[in-house]
Amino acid sequence: MAATTEQSIGDSGRIPGGTRRRARPEEPASILDRMGKGNLLYVLPGLLIYAVFVFVPILAAVVISLTEWNGLVVPSFVGLQNYIKLFSDHEFYIALRNNAEFMVFYCVLPLVIGICLAAIISVVGQRERLVLRTLFFLPYIMPTAVLGIIFQWLYNPAFGPFNQILKAVGLGKIALPWLGDFTWVLPAVGAVAVWYFFGFCMVVFLSGMQRIDPSLFDAARADGAKGWQSFWHVTLPQLMPEVRVVLLLTVIASIKSFDLIFTMTRGGPGNATLVPNIYMYELGFQLNRYGYAAAVAIIGALLVFVVNFAIHQGMRRFDRSSV
Amino acid sequence: MARSGVSTAPTVPFRIVLWLFGLITVVPFGLLLLTSIKSRADVLKGAFALPDYPHFENYVAAWTDGRFGTYFVNSVIVVVPVVAVSIVLGVITGFAFAYLRFPFKKSIFVILTFGMMVPTEAFIIPLYYEMLYLNLINTYWVLILTQIALSVPFATIFMASAMRQLPTEVLEAAVLDGATRPQVLLRVIVPLLAPAVSTLALFLFIWTWNEFLLPLILVNDDSLRTLPIGALFFQGKYTINTPVLTAGAVIVIAPIVVVYLIFQRKFIEGLTSGATK
Amino acid sequence: MHDTLSNRLRLGAAGIAVAALAAGLGGAAQAQTLVTWDDYTDVGQNAVIEQLNKNFEAAHPGVTINRTARTFDDLSMTLKLTVAAGNGPQVTKVNQGAADQGTMVKQKLLLPIDDYVKQYGWDKRFGEGVLARMQWSDSGQFGEGHYYGVSGLGEMVGLFYNQKVLSDAGISTPPKTFEELLADADALHAKGVPAFAIGTAKQHIALHMLTGMEQAHIDASNRKALDDVIYGRGGTFKTQAALDAATTMQKWAKEGYFIDGYSGIAGNDAVQLFVAGQGAFLLDGTWYFGDMQANPDIHFMPVPAPAGVSKPLTVGGVDLSWSITSNAKDKATQDLAAQYMDYMVSPEAANVWAAAGFFPSSTPTDDSAVKSPLLKEGLAMWKTITENNALGHYADWASPTMLKTYDDNMPHLLAGDMTPQAFVDALDADYQAYMKSVGK
């Protein structure tokens, strides 16, 4: 998908992760820009529909986060109280910690697996590669709410296939009640996220690899680099834009995660898989505390920015040290 | 791709790993299909146990009780305009971000990215009240317009970045030939970006087809609901009919799988060309 | 109602159109659409409600039911929002208790139905203890004052037992007292048979099991303390019965009295496993009759009471209530809504529900409709309970957050990393915080 999102962002807006301006010469205007006026006409239609149906409600949510509101009567303004309360809300910290752990499964593991698979897929022929690529991407097209239902059943300790296989191969001892185990429930749900994202990551990396200048490999080979060495020294550094895109998208997905966790565990057992988005749902739709729920949502959105900023910074440092 | 630098590596173990992962991706789908033709008692006999005979009546139950016929039509009515209009808007707005200067360009870009970051759950209540005020609740319009709006940020960024990678010489040549901007956009840029457009189309199709929260909240009338709501319909407060539920899930995902399989070649080409500098 | 000229004109025009239509159809009935929402999404229930709606339309020519079914979660998520916005159903199912029905009553989104209760004699058809669950006073007091709903289905939490599993373990009769239940569980456990089928990953078997045992320790003559707690008049969750029930549950969980892997099994799946012959007992509600009747060895009885309690409470109530929303603006619509509700809770509807294996709140007139032996056992129990005024309560109604508090703490209690005392304390802390927030 946006194999290129971040590149364009890096050039024009450098969002998310930093609206800071870098002192550098203004980009040269395109030849198309010089041609005439009415530039805004190209922006307005899309912007207008976006503003009406998305941005205004987002602004309203910010306002609501400053109020106490049960969703029915007129909200009462409470200033920053909701945010202050959040800082001493034990459950919110649990949700944040769980979300950080989920990031390993949403972001890190799919990235690593995706990059490894992309690296080794060249061992098979063109046709086989096409089939594999098609398969790997398949999970990504599924509605996550439906996936939750499927996997909840796959994990069932009594008649689910997962434990059935474990028992069949003599590993009955580790056939745990996955979704009811305080320790293992988060990795169990996380594994579904890995399954969902790894093929997507691989396809993005694969397309990135096709972009790499073959002469770089020739040069590396001339220097005596073996397969994995040239992967490490040539492929990986060249793939940094794709890594950044994949991280950007998976980080957003992890912080926005809801359907999968909701359908599999509802945040349980005992808050072991509670994440801010589930917490927001409970607060809003179950307890009618919409102001407080909106504050949770806003903090979550800010987190996306902070994490992406961190990634952006980290990657830049990496770029500099490796190039 | 053959040059990714590992051509000297051993083939067989890698091939096994690859196919193992391939297997992992399809097994859940296979089990889903299998469960959808079981009886409720069969489900307890273990995941791999075959039913005595295929219980296709699960599909009948899902289709009729779940009103899948209506929901299917509704899904199509919503998805087609959402994808089409979002692409048009994405191309036009993306063109502006790629080539044109206009006031507050960076700020507007930041504002657009909000739409990708903030979860819909966070603003669904204000959105509901706004739609009510605009008298759009319980219409196809509300589903179409909101989902176009949600697609604009991604479509814009995606198209803009693809356009930035087009060689400037081509555009310059067109301009020197006397083409106007709309002509350049329509006759030069769009044909060059056909793979990227089809990739975008597929993504928007998947996301819109699978959207759950918006139709759930913004539409109250049963006759306007879309498929994913039907898919989860068979969950009562205390009861659940796994085979019928999975049959419903199959009905929902079948169209996306078909569309994906038809377009996946083009689609992966699109990913590739989009990333090529 | 504004009766302006334009309105009158519009009504007049509509009236002419209706009259023309009616004349064309050769009937004298008035065309009207009734918008209804319900939560009957289970395949079996869905079929019944469609049938009942058809019957109602047939009996009321010109009336069209515009039904939307929502799953339980969807309903609680969307109902308040929609009705508050002047949209959605005129007649709806709504969850009793403070979170949904209470909030809607407070915002005047539901209409009091006192007149209809009298007109249709619903107070006589259902026990006083049943209708109280849908009563709210002007001051917002739960359990008294105006009526806001009636329900078509009854619910009781009881003891399902599998006679075959019991017999195989040498237990010839089901337990008559709570002490016997404990002894039977020990005996089954000693033989290596899981005593209880239970799944805690989803649904609320653990909650029903715990409160079922707890309330079986309360005699109907002493029910006031419990009523006061549930109806928000104050009280405590720190009772000996609650502590004992929590202690017993924890012991059973720790020592392996439950089916293997129970913490990773959803309640619905545990029921399927029980039907397939796993576990000797399962404590849960009549809503599982439809599933349970697949196994003729399974029977249903009240949770046995300890010695000295002659009329034990049975946790239960009625399913989500039918209520009239503020969208039913004029008297004619309200009357039609009440007619619809009356049909939904009528003995005639009860026959249809019973024939499909569900547990109606009114007694079916047609005994031959009751085919399932389980249902017969249940209906007999319902009769006794109504006579004894011994219908207990869902403990999670006590505060808006109580269900979550149960859900969050129960896994810790069963896993053994929370003492029964700490568990009961956590429940009480939730309740007292709620009491304080409403100024009691």
pLDDT above 50: residue C22: no
Q: How far, CA to CA in Å, does B142 sit from each of B202, B209, C232, C276?
A: 22, 15, 41, 47
Res B6: pLDDT: 45
Same domain, C34 and C126: yes
pLDDT above 80: residue C18: no
Per-residue pLDDT tens over the stretch B180-208: 888 999 999 999 888 888 888 988 998 99
Cα dihedral sign for A29, A33, A38, A42? negative
Per-residue pLDDT tens over the stretch C386-424: 889 899 999 988 888 898 899 999 999 999 999 999 999
Per-residue pLDDT tens over the stretch A261-318: 988 898 989 899 999 999 998 898 888 889 999 999 889 888 888 887 888 788 777 6
User: Does a structural domain hold residue C247?
Assistant: yes
Same domain, C195 and C255: yes
Res C156: pLDDT: 94
Q: Minimal Cα–Cα distance from B198 to chain A, Å?
A: 11
Q: How many helices (H) and strands (E) does chain B have?
A: 14, 0
Cβ separation of A294 and B122 shorter than 8 Å?
A: yes
Cβ separation of B232 and C68 shorter than 8 Å?
A: no
Give the pLDDT band of residue A321 (cuts 50, 70, 90): low
Same domain, C311 and C324: no
Full domain range(s) for residue C407? 155-315+392-437
Task: Name the neighbours of B, counting chains with at least 3 Cβ pairs within 8 A.
Answer: A, C
Per-residue pLDDT tens over the stretch A189-223: 999 999 999 999 998 888 888 778 888 888 888 88
Whether residue A1 contacts residue B270, with contact meaning beta carbons closer than 8 Å, is answered with no
Task: Name the neighbours of C, counting chains with at least 3 Cβ pairs within 8 A.
Answer: A, B
Cβ separation of A231 and B5 shorter than 8 Å?
A: yes
pLDDT above 60: residue B159: yes
Rounded CA-CA distance B267/C5 in Å is 62
User: Does a structural domain hold residue C21?
Assistant: no
Choose the closest CB to B221 out of C39, C46, C68: C68
Residue B165 belongs to what H/E stretch?
Answer: none
Same domain, C176 and C272: yes
Tokens representing C124 are 């006589």
Per-residue pLDDT tens over the stretch C171-181: 999 999 999 99
Choose the closest CB to B252 out of A31, A32, A143: A143
Contact with chain A for residue B229, Cβ under 8 A: no
The residue among A253 and B149 whose pLDDT is bigger is B149
Give the pLDDT band of residue B243 (cuts 50, 70, 90): confident
Number of separate domains in chain C: 2
What torsion do the CA atoms of C69, C72, C78, C82 make, to the nearest 10 degrees? Answer: 50
Residues on C contacting B at a C-beta cutoff of 8 Å? 37, 39-47, 66-69, 71-74, 77-78, 81-82, 85, 87-89, 203, 266-268, 272-273, 276, 285, 287-288, 290-291, 294
Residue B63 belongs to what H/E stretch?
Answer: helix B57-65
SS (H, E, C) chain C: CCCCHHHHHHHHHHHHHHHHHHHHHCCCCCCEEEEEEECCCCHHHHHHHHHHHHHHHHHCCCEEEEEEECCHHHHHHHHHHHHHCCCCCCEEEECCCHHHHHHHHHCCCECCCHHHHHHHCHHHHCCHHHHHHHEECCCCCECCCEECCECCEEEEEEEEEEHHHHHHCCCCCCCCCHHHHHHHHHHHHHCCCCCECCCCCCCCHHHHHHHHHHHHCCEHHHCHHHHHHHCCCCCCCCCHHHHHHHHHHHHHHHHCCECCCHHHCCHHHHHHHHHCCCCCEEEEEHHHHHHHCCCCCEEEECCCCCCCCCCECECEEECCEEEEECCCCCHHHHHHHHHHHHHHCCHHHHHHHHHCCCCECCCCCCHHHCCCHHHHHHHHHHHHHHHHCCECCCHHHHCCCHHHHHHHHHHHHHHCCCCHHHHHHHHHHHHHHHHHHCCC
pLDDT above 70: residue B271: no
Same domain, C131 and C251: no
User: Does a structural domain hold residue C268?
Assistant: yes
Other Cβ atoms within 10 Å of A93 Cβ, number:
12
Res C235: pLDDT: 95
Give the pLDDT band of residue C219 (cuts 50, 70, 90): very high
Per-residue pLDDT tens over the stretch B58-101: 998 888 877 888 899 999 999 999 999 999 999 999 999 999 98
Rounded CA-CA distance B240/C41 in Å is 9
Same domain, C398 and C298: yes
Res C177: pLDDT: 96
Rounded CA-CA distance A121/A161 in Å is 29
Rounded CA-CA distance C76/A288 in Å is 10
- Measured between CA atoms, the residue of chain B closest to residue C35 is B221
Q: What are phi and psi of A277, to 5 degrees?
A: -65, -40
Choose the closest CB to A282 out of C273, C404, C411: C404
Contact with chain A for residue B102, Cβ under 8 A: yes
The partner residues of C216 in beta bridges, in order of sequence, read none
- The contacts of residue B200 (CB under 8 Å, 6+ apart) are B87, B90, B155, B158, B159, B270
Q: Minimal Cα–Cα distance from A88 to chain B, Å?
A: 21
Choose the closest CB to B233 out of C41, C276, C285: C41
Domain spans of chain B, in order of start: 10-55, 65-275
User: Does a structural domain hold residue C4?
Assistant: no
Q: Minimal Cα–Cα distance from C120 to chain A, Å?
A: 32
| ipTM value | 0.87
Q: Which of B37-41, B243-247, B269-273, C325-329 has the lowest mean pLDDT?
A: B269-273
Res C16: pLDDT: 43
Choose the closest CB to B102 out of A4, A39, A140: A39
Same domain, C275 and C422: yes
Res C223: pLDDT: 93
Rounded CA-CA distance B114/A15 in Å is 10
Same domain, C123 and C265: no
Same domain, C47 and C162: no
Same domain, C113 and C225: no
pLDDT above 90: residue B114: no
Which CATH superfamily, name and number, covers B65-275? MetI-like (1.10.3720.10)
CATH number of the domain that residue C128 is part of? 3.40.190.10
Which of B7, B17, B21 is the best substitution to test chain A (most A C-beta atoms within 10 A)?
Answer: B21
Same domain, C300 and C420: yes
Which of C377, C405, C426 represents a domain boundary (last residue)?
C377
Give the pLDDT band of residue A145 (cuts 50, 70, 90): confident
Which of C353, C377, C401 represents a domain boundary (last residue)?
C377
How is residue A53 annotated by DSSP? I
Other Cβ atoms within 10 Å of B179 Cβ, number:
18
Same domain, C70 and C114: yes
Choose the closest CB to C261 out of A152, A157, A266: A157
A:21-80 residues touching chain B, CB 8 A cutoff: 29-33, 35-36, 39-40, 42-43, 45-47, 49-50, 52-58, 60-61, 64, 71
Cβ separation of B121 and A258 shorter than 8 Å?
A: yes
CB-CB neighbors (< 8 A) of B89 in chain A: 45-46, 49
Per-residue pLDDT tens over the stretch C61-94: 999 999 999 988 889 888 998 998 888 999 999 9
